[in-house]
Amino acid sequence: MTTARTLYQQIVDTHTVRSLDAPGQVLLYVDRQVLNEYTSPQAFAALHAAGRSVWRPASTVAVVDHVNPTTPERNARTMVLADADRARQVSTLAENCQRHGIDLFDMLDERQGIEHVVASEQGLVLPGMVMAAGDSHTTSHGAMGALGFGIGSSEIEHLLATQTLVYQMMRNMRVSVRGQLGAGVTAKDLVLALIRQIGADGAGGHVIEYTGEAISAMSVEGRLTLCNMSVEAAARGAIVAPDDRLFDYLHGRARVPKGAAWDAAVLAWRQLRSHEDAVFDKDVVLNANDIAPMVTWGTSPDQGASIDAVVPDPEQESNLTQRRSMVRALEYMGLHPGQALDGLPISHAFIGSCTNSRLEDLHAAARVLRGRRVASGVRAMVVPGSTSVRQQAEADGTAQVFRDAGFEWRQSGCSMCVAMNDDHLQAGDRCASSSNRNFEGRQGPGARTHLMSPAMVAAAAVAGTLTDVRRWAAQ
């Protein structure tokens, strides 16, 4: 009987309040949660109906991110929501936070932004923690050496009331990424390559731990992208073990311990790694050197290909269900088998979302855009992940590069990734997008989404077509 544990298992172990009657089920203590305006009101309503209170309000932060406008100006006038339903969602969140003493980053707060961008930016999630939120992309926080996962509104209610969740232990998957990513190839390309390889349900019932040279060399912002999109392979969590790169990232952030407490914390955090002989239920190996810039051609995140590939032929697919999905996807996307992806004309370019809207993402896009212009007929917009990212990009000149290139430089929010505010596409629009989901209708009914890295979006915006960013060296 081995006692070797994966990092994931160790985090669950240290958060187990008690085991429950069924095998593998525990009452799991949760350190942090972030609330948003559209999945939390029903949780509060149920809490109030049962006459219950919030167990530990200080573990929670609330952010308005899904329905707020991203108009280029942000002030008390532009942030009035003309739409009564959205206004009610925002005011309900404010009332609930007020009532329970929960910290709210409202639309005009300088800490406002997309919940997952804000949480890491503020240092809210620390190594070894458990983080849950009413948004599937909560897997992002694995980049902090933490366990993060999304939950529904009923579980938000449970978490608010008890600070715990009834939790079923997941299986362990190790994804080892050997070698190094080439020039112009990013964490986004890596995760799209992984999802293509293992499928949209390839990590179902598993928590992924990422290891290997390419992960060690990857920035924390890159790891956030990687862990964020792991949910698109159905992962129930995605972790990178903490290292010096992470400690450098965390040091000095608002919610991170300081002074002697910092030193004590780092000492403890250095112990957070899978034991040498820990057993993983599944092992996946990728060679980073083999990965080229990726784009999706279909309506599921696993329907992707290298930019130099052609649209695949459903006739070559042996699995009947998959073949039908491909046929339907190609019809929706207006593509045909054998068509080159490179050179496919676009109407829109979108840089934003919790996947790719951090400063590093904007810098990568700006390197391509400097001295260039968005192609005529293309509407290009950039929506920074947080108000803080926006301010930093204003200060270091990145914002001006976007403006000079003809991009709309907007305020932060989920925006056209989920299109729950006024930022959406029309039927038939074709968008190069740095977001995370190419689902039918995601960016607007009938809209066609091609997922790719921010630099690839920038190159596409300039070319007016999907293109290989490696041909668009910085000027």
Partner 1 sequence: MEPFHQVAGVAAALPPANIDTDQIMPKQFLRGINRQGLSQGFLFDLRFSAPGQERADFVLNRAPWRSASILLTGPNFGCGSSREHAVWGLRELGLRCIIGTTFGGIFADNCARNGVPAISVPMAELDRLMTLATDPDRCQLVVDLQTQTITSPADGQQLHFDFDPLRRHMLLHGLDAVGLTLQHAQDIQRFEQAYFQARPWLATTASDVNG
| Angstrom distances, CA of residue 173 to CA of 6, 85, 188 | 10, 42, 19
Reduce the DSSP state of residue 109 to 3 states and report it: coil
The least distance separating partner 1 from the CB of residue 94, rounded to whole angstroms, comes to 12
Q: Which residue has the tokens 């009987």?
A: 1
Q: Do the Cβ atoms of 459 and 346 come closer than 8 Å?
A: no
Question: Which string of DSSP letters, residue by residue, matches 91-155?
Answer: HHHHHHHHHHT-EEE-TT-TT-B-HHHHHHHTT-S-TT-EEEESSGGGGGGGGGTSEEEE--HHH
- Tell me whether strands 282-287 and 348-351 are parallel, antiparallel or unpaired: unpaired
Q: Which lies closer to partner 1 via its Cβ, residue 33 or residue 465?
A: 33
Report in angstroms how near the CB of residue 424 gets to partner 1 at its nearest: 8
Least separation in angstroms between CB 8 and partner 1: 15
Is the Cβ of residue 440 or residue 468 nearer to partner 1 in the bound state?
440
Q: Kindly report the backbone phi and psi dihedral angles of residue 134, in degrees, each rounded to the nearest multiple of 5, phi listed first.
A: -80, 55
Q: Which is nearer to partner 1, 126 or 469 (CB)?
A: 126
329 vs 171: CA distance, rounded Å: 31
Residue type, position 279, single letter:
V
Q: Which token pair is 212? A: 């290997």
Task: Tell the smallest beta-carbon distance from residue 52 to partner 1 (Å).
Answer: 7
Identity of the residue, 55 or 309, whose beta carbon is nearer to partner 1 in the bound complex: 55
Min dist CB 428 to partner 1, Å, is 15
By beta-carbon proximity to partner 1, the closer residue of 292 and 327 is 327
Q: How many residues in total does the chain contain?
A: 475
Q: From the CB of 33, what's the least distance to partner 1, in Å? A: 11
Residue 430: which of 388, 378, 373, 376 has the closest Cα?
A: 378
Q: Between residues 154 and 289, which has the closer beta carbon with respect to partner 1?
A: 154
Question: Position 126: which residue type?
Answer: L
What is the DSSP code (8-state) at residue 301? T
Nearer to partner 1, 150 or 352 (CB): 150
Could you write out the DSSP letters of every residue in 47-65? HHHTT---S-GGGEEEE--
DSSP output for 162-199:
HSEEEEEPPEEEEEEEES---TT--HHHHHHHHHHHH-
Residue 153 vs 400, nearer CB to partner 1:
153
What is the rounded CA–CA span in Å between residue 70 and residue 302? 29
Total H helices, total E strands in the chain: 15, 19
Query: What is the closest distance, in whole angstroms, from the C-beta atom of residue 457 to partner 1 in the complex?
Result: 21
Minimum CB separation from partner 1 for residue 201, in Å? 4
* Nearest distance in Å: CB 426, partner 1: 15
- Measured CA to CA, the distance from residue 76 to residue 94 in angstroms comes to 16
Cα–Cα dist 171/227, whole Å: 17
